[in-house]
Amino acid sequence: MHYWNLSWDWNTLESVRTIHSFLEALALAFFALLVLFDVLAHFAEGDRARSKKLERIGLVCFAVAVLAEILAYPYSRRNDSLSSLQDTNQRIKIASLETDAANAHKETETLRMQVKGYDKQIADDQARIKIAEATVATSKVAVSDAVAKVATAEARIAEAQHGAEEAKKESAALLVEEMKLEQLVKPRVIDKQGREDISKELHRFATALTGHKVSISSLSGDAEGYIFGSIISEMLTKAGIETEANSLGLLLAVGMPPFGLRVTGPTKNAEFITSFTLEVHRRLATKISACWDDSKYKEVAILVGARSDALPELTNGGPDACNPAAK
């Protein structure tokens, strides 16, 4: 972040955070200068004039640091206010999506009932065919009438079969939509046996990760993501791998929130990242992406994003996979 191009927009969360960080950094820098000039003044006590000058410079640094802290205070309060507003808006959007999913499920049930009605019509037409065949067998005198009835019945069968085919197509399309909606609202849960198997598989990486903690975070207001992140933390802990889950439920997304599961880390942990994502992908239908790049990541981090209605996907790769433009 280049602080020379600060945006002084009071109503933008990113701008407020940037300015607040800049002012805090400025205060720290001048507090450090205050300590430096105090030390220099102490060593220059033999030269009274120089010592006095260094003390005055230290006082100026102290004044600038205090002024920066005073200016940073209202931006700190504004940052809290905008973060709370953003969290509220995200909760409203999630509630709206859940309502839409429930309405779509009701429409699916209605269409299923219509499909059952078509099946009943087919059964009725088939019963009429049997009656017509019995009439032909017992009354050859009324052959012409029977043939007419059979023709009529066949026409109705063709019409009913056509309707049934259309209904089956509509049913198949609705089932696909229902699966997507179910994926969107269904919690991401790995059964007990699956969690134990994953922990056993990952235990072989415990020694390599000794002294390091795997960071686990999720979106603010996403209860499902919080629970899923806690499950991941439990599996890694049972595997003997330390985790840092203080960021669960605290991540604030700017713009479109991330979806699925994203795992990042340095190249030396590529084998662990690959093994973890493959084991989860075998047991859970969700979008998973992973990458490793020494220039960007020093520790392994797992981000639990929002649920996605997309088909399950697993993407593993090196530095190129860390760049969204490369996909």
The string of pLDDT tens digits covering residues 52-93 is: 888 889 889 889 889 888 987 887 888 788 788 777 887 888
Return the H-helix or E-strand segment holding 258: none
So where are the chain's domains?
3-93, 98-185, 192-326
Q: At residue 220, does pLDDT exceed 60?
A: yes
Higher pLDDT, 324 or 103: 103
Q: At residue 41, does pLDDT exceed 90?
A: no
Cβ atoms of residues 87 and 221 within 8 Å: yes
Cβ atoms of residues 121 and 157 within 8 Å: no
Q: Residues near 245 by Cβ (< 8 Å), separated by ≥ 6? A: 216, 217, 229, 230, 233
Q: At residue 311, does pLDDT exceed 70?
A: no
Query: Measured between alpha carbons, how far is residue 215 from residues 232, 240, 287, 296, 300 in Å?
Result: 11, 15, 19, 15, 6
Q: At residue 142, does pLDDT exceed 90?
A: no
Q: At residue 217, does pLDDT exceed 90?
A: yes
Q: At residue 180, does pLDDT exceed 60?
A: no
Query: Percent of the chain scored above 70 by pLDDT?
Result: 82
**pTM of the model as a whole:** 0.45
Mean pLDDT (whole number) for 115-128: 76
Reduce the DSSP state of residue 214 to 3 states and report it: strand
Higher pLDDT, 327 or 30: 30
Band (pLDDT 50/70/90 cuts) for residue 314 is low
DSSP secondary-structure letter at 241? -
Band (pLDDT 50/70/90 cuts) for residue 226 is very high
Q: At residue 216, does pLDDT exceed 60?
A: yes
Cβ atoms of residues 314 and 280 within 8 Å: no
The string of pLDDT tens digits covering residues 272-305 is: 999 999 999 998 878 898 999 999 999 999 999 8
The string of pLDDT tens digits covering residues 238-270 is: 999 999 989 888 888 787 888 889 999 999 999
Q: 268, 258, 237, 252: which is closest to 305 by C-alpha?
A: 258
Higher pLDDT, 72 or 306: 306
Q: At residue 163, does pLDDT exceed 90?
A: no
CB atoms under 10 Å from CB of 233, counted, come to 18
Amino acid (one-letter) located at 51: S
Q: 107, 73, 88, 307: which is closest to 189 by C-alpha?
A: 307
Mean pLDDT (whole number) for 130-150: 67
Higher pLDDT, 269 or 314: 269
Band (pLDDT 50/70/90 cuts) for residue 9 is low
Band (pLDDT 50/70/90 cuts) for residue 326 is very low
Mean pLDDT of the chain: 81
H and E: helices and strands count for the chain = 6, 6
Phi, psi (deg, nearest 5) at residue 21 = -65, -40
Q: Residues near 236 by Cβ (< 8 Å), separated by ≥ 6? A: 199, 202, 214, 242, 243
